[in-house]
Each structure stands twice: as C-alpha cells, then as structure tokens.
Amino acid sequence: MRPDKAPQAMGAVPRLGIGTRMSTSVWPGVWPAMEKGGFAANAIQNSVRELNLLQDVLAGRPPRSNYLYGFGTLEEGHTGSTFEGLWVAGVIEALKTDTHPRYGADADHITVRRGPGGIDRAKLVIDAARDYTFFTLDVSDIVDYTADHPARKYETALEVVAELAAYIQHVKGDAPFDLELSIDECPPRMEAGACLTTDGELTFLIEELRRRGIAMTHIAPNVGVVKGQDYDGPGGLEEFERRIRGLQRIARAQNVMLDFHSGDDLRPAVRRAIGRATEGWNHFKVSPSLQIIFAETLHDLYPERFRWWWEDTLAYARREADGGSDFAAQCLRQYEDYGDSVPAPRHAVFHHYCFGSVGRRDEKGRFLHRERFYDLPADFYEEYRDRIERFLCEVAADVFCRE
C-alpha cells in the first residue's frame, strides 16, 4: 500500500543501526530523531540473541543458549519478539509516523558457530528474516586465529559466507538487500587485542569476496571495541583513530562501508574518534543502550515497577554466579562494594543482566513478564520517546561529524 514507507536496501549509505529491544515503545522516538538529525538508519534491528524463531515459540520449545564475548552464555530470544513479529511491528510504526524515514531492517548477527548444525541454523534465521533488507553474517567464531596468513585464517569463514550469501540471494530473489561480513567479536577465551583486524586482512577479505562474486556492502572489522565496555585499548584514542583511519582508506576505495558494533557504552570522545577517522562515512550500531534508557525512565517515573525489574535481575545474576559465571560474580561484587544499596540502572549488575527479564519464558514456552513493560501509563512512553530522540541525535552528531 505504501512502498515508500517500507524498509529498503540502501547500499553504502551512512546510517545508525538501532537495536529495537523494547520494540513498539522505541519507534516513536526513533522516527523524530531521524527527521531532526537528518540521518538514515536500520530502524528494525535485532539479532538471533534477541529474537526467537516463530516456529520455536509456537511449539513451546525452550530457548537456545548462545555465547557473548566478555559475558558468557545467555538465552536466545530475550526480547520476547520474533524476526517476523519485529518486522511487522516496525513497518506498522513506520506507516503511522508523519515523517518519511529512510530506513532498513537488519537481521543482525546471523551467527555461525563451530561444530555441526551451524549453517543449517543460520539458514533457518535467514528464512525467518526473508523480508529484511540487511543481513549481517557473523563468522567470528569460525575464524582461525592461529593461522599465519589471511588466506588460511579466513578460509573456512569465507566458504560459509559464500554459501549463506547464495542462500540469501535465493530467498530474496530479485529483491535488493545489503550484506555485511562481521568479524568484530572474539570467540571464547580470546583477548580482544588478539582479534584485531589488520589492513592486510581487510584488503584480502574485500578482494577475495569480490573474486568469489559476493556483493558485500559492509564489513565490521575488529577494532578493539568490547560489548558492554568503553574503549580502553593500548595507545588510547590516538592509536584507535589511526587504526580505523587505515582500515577506512581501504574500505572507502572499494565502496565498502565499515560498520562499528557495540557502540552503546562508548563515551562521546570515542564516538567522535570514529567519526573523524571515517569522515562521517560509517555504519554505527547501538542496541542495549535503548533498553537502559527505558530502565532509567522507569526508575525516575515509576520506581516501584523498576524495583521489581531490579529484583528479578539480581536473582538472575545470582543464579548465573552460582552456576559458575565469573562475570556475574564480578558484577555482584561491584554492586556490593559500591557503598550504595539503592537499586539503580547505573549498577553493573543491572546494566549487564537486565535484558533477561523481558522475554523470559516458563517450561512450556510461555512469556512470564513481557506485559509488565508495555502496560505503563502514557506519560512514561512520552518521556521515553523524548529521551531516545535526544540520545540518537547525540550519537548521530558524533559519528557523522555534525555539530
């Protein structure tokens, strides 16, 4: 009915990737931010970590376990949404807005893990996300970090990318789509510094992808950013910016856009370094930060509802710590040593574990708490909308080099 308001493939166009963890409550702040800030965005974006497969929800299957670098294991689908449901809800919200946003839909972090079944699982995700316009293929886990040459280091990963790119093309038919190679994360027990993408590796990857006929529009290299942390790599921001500038020269010459993931906890100075190094020509993703803003708004306006979320989060972190998670134990110690027992979104234990409450399911696959986040008074959602708009405009100004 309104194809001008549908998600679209945009190619190498600077944009934000806006993870919509809180789904329908997020978009009322996203569209005015895009209008005011004058930027494009993948305004429908979540990953297999955050979304369920519809067939699994309908069958009442328990959530799968996934691995997140720097965190550990987590249950997939923790937003309570599905790939199909998120797309439908996002498109409806775009139709409702008075603005005319230029936006895409990103099936983020389609992950291929080591071992059997990894590719088949990725194809199931692609089937579920068939109407999306942007596909992020995450092969970080199958890169051979012990190899001494890019051809050997990325051999298996490139074979998988070729197979999945061909499958996406089959599913999409004549419909255009953007395609991203993501190697920005580290596998278990690897340090971030050991996974950095070099100029030589990026050159090899772009040339090899072209040789194989894979029309890759975006690449997310590993630049030393770790999810849930501000950048603190050796050499500071000067070295960080220099490294990105070198990668950018290579990518820009080939009309491939660099993508920067896990931008949520980066302070403005780090975001501006990325903006300067890329001269504002980049794709920058955020996701958890919009959920934290939701929590901050809830804490300020409806503290009793926040207190429930806090207690549920604390119980989750304690279960993980009792199960052997060093990271959960560390977060709990930080909270206990903080000297302030008042529940607040700023505490690390909430910052890192609050996501688990939203889409938690029981043994029969039924959602336990989801309605608690969507039955709040109108003034809450209005305030949340305003805070999202301010945040996204600030991020866009930093990474796209705007005053």
Task: Please report, for the domain that includes residue 142, its CATH number.
Answer: 3.20.20.70
Confidence band, pLDDT 50/70/90 cuts, at residue 339:
low
Confirm whether 260 is domain-assigned.
yes
Confirm whether 162 is domain-assigned.
yes
Count of domains forming the chain: 2
The mean pLDDT of 240-266, rounded to a whole number, is 97
* Start-to-end C-alpha separation, the chain: 37
Can you give the pLDDT at residue 349?
94
Pair (227, 262) in one structural domain: yes
Confidence band, pLDDT 50/70/90 cuts, at residue 69:
low
Q: In the chain, pLDDT over 70 holds for what percent of residues? A: 97
Residue 143 φ/ψ, nearest 5 degrees:
-75, 140
Pair (65, 20) in one structural domain: yes
Confidence band, pLDDT 50/70/90 cuts, at residue 342:
confident
Pair (14, 157) in one structural domain: yes
Can you give the pLDDT at residue 340?
64
- At a CB cut-off of 8 Å and minimum separation 6, what does 197 contact? 183, 221, 222, 223, 247
Confirm whether 298 is domain-assigned.
no
Pair (153, 269) in one structural domain: yes
pLDDT tens string 71-129: 767 888 889 899 999 999 999 999 999 999 999 999 999 988 877 788 999 999 999 99
Confirm whether 269 is domain-assigned.
yes
CB-CB contact of 332 with 318 (8 Å): yes
pLDDT tens string 41-63: 999 999 988 999 999 989 988 88
- At a CB cut-off of 8 Å and minimum separation 6, what does 17 contact? 41, 42, 45, 106, 108, 259, 261, 283, 284, 285, 286, 287
Pair (313, 258) in one structural domain: no
Confirm whether 247 is domain-assigned.
yes
- Per the structure, the complete domain to which residue 308 belongs is given by 303-371
Can you give the pLDDT at residue 366?
86
Distance from C-alpha of 331 to C-alpha of 275, rounded to nearest angstrom:
31
Pair (57, 202) in one structural domain: yes
Lowest mean pLDDT among 235-249, 334-348, 362-376: 334-348
Task: Give the C-alpha distances (Å, rounded to integers) separating 383 from 26, 127, 158, 289, 354.
Answer: 11, 36, 45, 16, 20
Nearest to 23 by CA among 383, 368, 374: 374
Task: Give the C-alpha distances (Å, rounded to integers) separating 333 from 91, 327, 338, 341.
Answer: 43, 10, 8, 12
The mean pLDDT of 25-45, rounded to a whole number, is 98
Confidence band, pLDDT 50/70/90 cuts, at residue 164:
very high
Pair (187, 311) in one structural domain: no
Task: Give the C-alpha distances (Å, rounded to integers) separating 96 from 5, 6, 89, 349, 356.
Answer: 10, 12, 11, 37, 30
Pair (187, 281) in one structural domain: yes
Confirm whether 297 is domain-assigned.
no
Residue 187 has pLDDT above 80, yes or no: no
Put simply, whether the predicted model's pTM sits higher than 0.85 gets the answer yes
Distance from C-alpha of 374 to C-alpha of 25, rounded to nearest angstrom:
8
Pair (238, 317) in one structural domain: no
Pair (210, 315) in one structural domain: no
pLDDT tens string 194-242: 889 999 999 999 999 999 999 999 999 999 998 889 999 999 999 999 9
Lowest mean pLDDT among 59-73, 130-144, 158-172, 261-275: 59-73
Can you give the pLDDT at residue 392?
98
Lowest mean pLDDT among 129-133, 336-340, 356-360: 336-340
Can you give the pLDDT at residue 118?
86
Confirm whether 204 is domain-assigned.
yes
Confirm whether 309 is domain-assigned.
yes
Distance from C-alpha of 214 to C-alpha of 139, rounded to nearest angstrom:
15
Pair (104, 52) in one structural domain: yes
Q: Calculate ∠ Cα 26-177-156, nearest 5°.
A: 105
- At a CB cut-off of 8 Å and minimum separation 6, what does 168 contact? 126, 135, 177, 179
Place of tokens 């965005």: 41
Q: What is the DSSP letter of 361?
A: B
Pair (205, 126) in one structural domain: yes
